[in-house]
Amino acid sequence: MPNPIAAAIQMQSGPVLAANLARADVLVRTAAERGAQLIVLPEVFAWRGLRADEGTAPSPIPGPVSDFLSRLAAELRVILVGGSFLERSAHATRSYNTSLLVDASGAIRATYRKMHLFDVDLPGRVTVRESDGRVPGSDVVTAATELGTIGMSICYDLRFPELYRRLASAGATIITIPAAFTAHTGAAHWEPLIRARAIENQVYVIAPNQTGTSPHGFADYGHSMIVDPWGTVVARAGEGEAVLTAEIDADHLARIRQEMPCLSHARLLS
């Protein structure tokens, strides 16, 4: 039986929900046509605009974004990870940054709310305070699927290895990292961190990123990638929108874990 195929979708999302969903639809269908059974969209794929313009952008669950993901996954018979979108919360002025995993029947199998919020000031480059408009999540989230157990994370989470060890300890063999990594930090840290998380936890990592210039005026890095459990980059994008695909080889993963049994040797667990 052939190995299943995973896809990472690189997008340039903007402040018009309908346009973003229409573009995501096209790119997800392209991935499905290429045989992908697991498709991962980038962070804030559904809406990305200025904080002052958010207004009604946050969506409830169920709501327009979750309904879109469920319909598309069920139609194409794929597992679809809805990158992330702004989920309405009980807080009057802040929303969750949420990733949904939807199975091939259209059912929501897992909901992950971004745990680590991006509050940084890089003088002369970019200043972001995600916590001004977001509520942090607190749960470590995995979902058992026919392709393996999928662990979920979002963007800035990448810098916190303890989350990924907990995902691996919970049985994850595939980890998704939808992102909107900036060009400045991406050029320095995107690939090294993704490869490190794959190597440390002996998992496949699917990391789709935003590309182009964000509505906030800074450049996104692009360079989405899929990395295998040995740390090999098996698919890589440049700049511009793209659909990456790669095989998920369970035998390769099992062999790496058997020959280099680091996970069973761990003495200090987060």
How does DSSP assign 112-146, residue by residue? EE--S--EEEETTTEEEEGGGTB-------EEEET
Q: Catalytic site residues?
A: 43, 114, 155
The answer to whether residue 205 scores a pLDDT higher than 90 is: yes
The strand ranges marked E within the chain are: 5-10, 36-40, 79-81, 85-87, 96-102, 108-113, 119-122, 126-129, 142-145, 148-152, 174-176, 204-207, 211-213, 219-221, 225-227, 233-236, 242-247
Interval 75-90: pLDDT, tens: 999 999 999 999 999 8
Compare 262 and 125 and report the one with higher pLDDT.
262
Using an 8 Å Cβ cutoff, are 210 and 239 in contact? no
Tokens of 39: 């498709």
Tokens of 148: 């393996």
The answer to whether residue 108 scores a pLDDT higher than 90 is: yes
Three-state SS at 26? helix
> Rounded to the nearest 10 degrees, what angle do helices 17-33 and 64-76 cross at?
20
Name 120's bridge partners. Answer: 128
Instruction: Say which range, 77-91, 123-137, 172-186, 218-232, has the weakest mean pLDDT.
Output: 123-137
Interval 53-66: pLDDT, tens: 888 889 999 999 99
- Averaged confidence pLDDT in the chain: 95
Using an 8 Å Cβ cutoff, are 155 and 178 in contact? yes
pTM flag (> 0.75): yes
The answer to whether residue 126 scores a pLDDT higher than 90 is: no
| One-letter amino acid for residue 252 of the chain | H
Interval 132-144: pLDDT, tens: 889 999 999 999 9
Interval 17-31: pLDDT, tens: 999 999 999 999 999
State yes or no: cis peptide before 64, omega within 30 of 0. Answer: no
Q: How confident is the model at residue 128 (pLDDT cuts 50, 70, 90)?
A: confident
Q: How confident is the model at residue 125 (pLDDT cuts 50, 70, 90)?
A: low
Count of C-beta atoms within a 10 Å radius of residue 218: 15
